[in-house]
Chain A
Amino acid sequence: QVQLVQSGAEVRKPGASVRVSCKPSGYSLSDTYVHWVRQAPGQGLEWMGWIGSKSGDTKYAQKFVGRIAMTRDTSITTFYMELTRLTSDDTAMYYCARSSFCDVWGQGTLVTVSS
């Protein structure tokens, strides 16, 4: 069964950084994309960007440029999304998803930013 397993909930103070991991299981690393999408409480889905699983190429939504980094560790087949300079507006559920059209989603990681 194809799954994306994400790391657990995080709490950060304003100004801090957070790194969320996403590990595929049930399928081999291939030439596809991993997207990151977030959802603030009670709000809609917001696309953050993607990383190419083979190339490591990235593309970020403009609003996150300068404070986001998507990386991958091919040795342990894990993807990461790091967001820096957190504010309360970054409090959200963060999802990773596979492929151009997100056919498989992780379970989500709740990131809470609070002083």
Chain B
Amino acid sequence: ETVLTQSPGTLSLSPGERATLSCRASQSVTSNYLAWYQQRPGQAPRLLIYGASTRVTGIPDRFSGSGSGTDFTLTISRLEPEDFAVYYCQQYRSSPQVFGQGTKLEI
């Protein structure tokens, strides 16, 4: 079973700053079947990125995903107030399709 470890656990930044979130897999995520989700308080998660770097239609271009193999990154270039939330990575190459434990992005 692949284990996904996200870091940092909490990231404290200000609007306008750049955020870099990491997701490391215990084994290679083949074909880069890695997704990123945003979850705001009281809401269901929302898909941001799939295939490690493909942004979902309608997601602002300040969100970008990169990486391959075992190391993946979600970057938010200029934080907006609505970006402060919890972010999860997930591998969907094979079952169990585990999630990382999440990174809380706070002001």
Distance from A101 Cβ to chain B, minimum over Cβ atoms (Å): 4
Complex formed: what's the CA distance from A62 to B97 in Å?
11
Q: A101-B35, A102-B35 are in contact. Are A47 and B44 (CB under 8 A)?
A: no
Cβ–Cβ < 8 Å partners of A59 in chain B: 95
Residues from chain A with a CB closer than 8 A to the CB of B90 are: 45, 47, 101-102
The answer to whether A101 and B95 touch across the interface, beta carbons within 8 angstroms, is no
B72 contacts the other chain (CB 8 A):
no
Binary contact track B72-107/A, C-beta < 8 Å → 1, others 0 = 000000000000000010101001111111100000
Number of contacting residues on B, CB 8 A? 22
Where chain B touches its partner, the secondary structure class is loop
Q: Choose the segment among B10-18, B20-28, B45-53 that binds chain A (4+ C-beta atoms closer than 8 Å).
A: B45-53
User: Which of B44, B47, B90 has the most chain A CB atoms inside 10 A of its CB?
Assistant: B44
Which of chain A's residues have a CB closer than 8 A to the CB of B45? 37, 45, 95, 97, 102, 105
Cβ of B50 to closest chain A Cβ, rounded Å:
4
Set of chain B residues within 8 Å of A37, measured between Cβ atoms: 45, 99
Is A108 a contact partner of B44 (Cβ separation < 8 A)?
yes
Asked if B44 contacts A107 (CB within 8 A), the reply is: yes
Q: What are 23 contact pairs spanning A and B, CB under 8 A?
A: A44-B88, A45-B37, A45-B88, A45-B99, A45-B102, A47-B96, A47-B98, A47-B99, A50-B95, A59-B95, A62-B96, A95-B45, A100-B92, A101-B47, A102-B35, A102-B37, A102-B45, A102-B47, A102-B90, A103-B47, A103-B56, A107-B44, A108-B44
Interface residues of A (CB under 8 A from B): 35, 37, 44-47, 49-50, 59, 61-62, 95, 97, 100-103, 105-108
